[in-house]
């Protein structure tokens, strides 16, 4: 009796099978499979071109950043590192490793000058993040967190109360924003001092 083995399935085969599906929802399992496989191999960035083909979307690249980012975050090594940081934040939010929400990330990116603060709605933010994180479903960012609370605060997150006895809700939001800002620290022009 001979033992035959199959060769590993090439990604091009997975992509062609995904593209044969009639809807984005039916292509999603193939996108997720490709993402998980690339993560397990320790090379998630190599899956990006395949995911772009399956989703029909061009993801953001360091050479082509959205206009909503302030100029110093749109090119070169800073843009490249920023994209890596946002994808790492997505992994922490998606896995439940942290209690952060995309609304917290939204607030930090505006307060730290990564995004222009004028007219960036949660819908626009959702589109930006979905273009940065391959395979991220529509509306998943916009529906993750309390954008109303994050948007109505006049002062930046670092000025919110840090003592639970003054305002427990805003103190916890401040802590989450501080942790997220520390993730962004490699691309910021200032050091984030943890004081919780």
pLDDT, position 132:
87
> Could you tell me how far CA 66 lies from the centroid of its own chain?
14
Query: pTM for the complete prediction?
Result: 0.72
Residue 194 half-sphere exposure toward CB, CA atoms < 13 A: 8
pLDDT, position 109:
97
Q: pLDDT digit string (tens) for 20-76?
A: 776 777 778 888 888 888 888 888 778 887 887 787 665 677 778 888 999 999 989
Q: Three-state SS for 69?
A: strand
What is the biggest distance separating any 2 CA atoms in the chain, rounded to whole angstroms?
75
pLDDT, position 133:
85
pLDDT in tens, the chain (196 residues): 567 887 788 888 888 877 777 677 777 888 888 888 888 888 877 888 788 778 766 567 777 888 899 999 998 999 999 999 999 999 999 999 999 999 999 999 999 999 987 778 898 898 889 888 877 776 789 889 999 999 888 899 999 998 888 889 999 999 999 999 999 999 999 999 888 7
Helix, strand, coil percent content, the chain, rounded in steps of 5:
55, 0, 40
Report the distance separating Cα 132 and Cα 119, nearest Å. 19
Task: Tell me the C-alpha to C-alpha distance, in Å, between residue 86 and each of 13, 26, 94, 167.
Answer: 29, 26, 12, 29
Residue (of 41, 24, 39) closest to 130 by Cα position: 24
């Amino acid at each position: 009796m001979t033992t035959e083995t199959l060769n590993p399935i090439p990604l091009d085969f997975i992509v062609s099978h995904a593209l044969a599906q009639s809807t984005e929802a039916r292509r999603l399992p193939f996108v997720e499979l490709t993402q998980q496989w690339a993560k397990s191999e320790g090379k998630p960035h190599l899956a990006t071109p395949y995911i772009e083909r399956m989703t029909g979307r061009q993801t953001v690249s360091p050479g082509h950043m959205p206009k909503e980012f302030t100029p110093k975050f749109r090119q070169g090594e800073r843009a490249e590192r920023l994209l890596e940081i946002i994808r790492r934040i997505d992994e922490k939010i998606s896995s439940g490793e942290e209690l952060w929400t995309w609304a917290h990330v939204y607030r930090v990116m505006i307060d730290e000058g990564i995004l222009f603060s004028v007219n960036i709605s949660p819908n626009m933010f959702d589109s930006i993040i979905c273009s940065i994180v391959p395979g991220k479903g529509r509306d998943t960012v916009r529906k993750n967190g309390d954008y109303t609370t994050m948007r109505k605060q006049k002062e930046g997150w670092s000025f919110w109360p840090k003592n639970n006895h003054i305002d427990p809700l805003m103190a916890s939001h401040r802590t989450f924003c501080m942790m997220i800002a520390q993730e962004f620290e490699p691309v910021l022009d200032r050091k984030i001092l943890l004081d919780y």
